[in-house]
Amino acid sequence: MQSKTMVEIASQRTLAKTFQGCLTKNILNEISRVSSINKSALRYGVTPKKAAYKMKNCIFCDILSGSQPCSLVYQDHVCTAFMDIQPVNPGHLLIIPNKHASNLNELEENTGGHIFQVAQRLAAALRKSPVLCEGINLFLADGAVAGQEVFHVHLHVLPRFRSDGFGFKFGPEYFNLPKRSELDDIARVIRESI
C-alpha cells in the first residue's frame, strides 16, 4: 500500500471540513435508516429531554435540561448523544446517560450496556455517512487520573483516519511483557473483587 502524500492528506482534511457542516443531518438520516429509531425524536436542533436526576455545576446535566446548547444526534429514555465541542476529528460524538452518574461505579449496569449498544449504532452511522472515517475508537475515561474532565459518565465515539494525528501514548514498561504467573495473580485478585 502506498503512503499518502501531504496533498492527499490535506485533501482528506479539506473534505472532512466540508462535510462537517452537514454532519449532524447525515448522521441522523443514517441512524434512522440503520436502526428503527423514531425520526421525530432525531430532528436537528431538538432540545434534549430534561434529565431525571440533575447535578448542580454539571455541563452535561445542563445540556440535558436544555439550559446549555448541543448539536443533538440521538436521544432515548436512557441516553443522549451529541457532537463534542472540541472534536478530535469531525464527527466526534459523546454519549451520556440521562441520569447523572459521576463515574462507572455510579452507573447502572443496564445503562452502561445500553450506551455501548447506541455507540455501535452511531459508529455504523459514521462509517456510512460522508464523514471521513476509516476506523472508530470508543473511549471512556473513568476518574481524573484516567483523563476524565467532566464528571458525568460519557463515552467518546471517535471517527479515525490515517494520519489524523491522534493516538495513545504507552508508558515505558509497555513493551516489557509480564510473566504469565503475574497475569494469573492479578486475574485472581480481580475475580475475588467481583
**Catalytic residue of the set 92, 100, 152, 154:** 154
User: How does pLDDT run across 105-125, given as a tens digit for each residue?
Assistant: 999 999 999 999 999 999 999
CATH 3.30.428.10 fits 6-169, yes or no: yes
Q: Is 154 a catalytic residue?
A: yes
pTM for the structure as a whole: 0.75
Q: What is the 3-state secondary structure (H, E, C) of the chain?
A: CCCCCHHHHHHHHHHHHHHHCCHHHHHHHHHHHHCCCCHHHHCCCCCCCCCCECCCCCHHHHHHHCCCCCCEEEECCCEEEEECCCCCCCCCEEEEECECCCCHHHCCHHHHHHHHHHHHHHHHHHHHCCCCCCEEEEECCCCHHHCCCCCCCCEEEEEECCCCCCCCCCCCCCCCCCCHHHHHHHHHHHHHHC
Could you tell me which residues come within 8 angstroms of residue 68 by beta carbon, excluding any fewer than 6 positions away? 59, 62
Boundaries of every domain in the chain? 6-169
User: How does pLDDT run across 129-183, given as a tens digit for each residue?
Assistant: 999 999 999 999 999 999 999 999 999 999 999 999 999 899 999 999 999 999 9
Query: How high is the mean pLDDT of the chain?
Result: 82
pLDDT reported for residue 56: 80
pLDDT reported for residue 130: 97
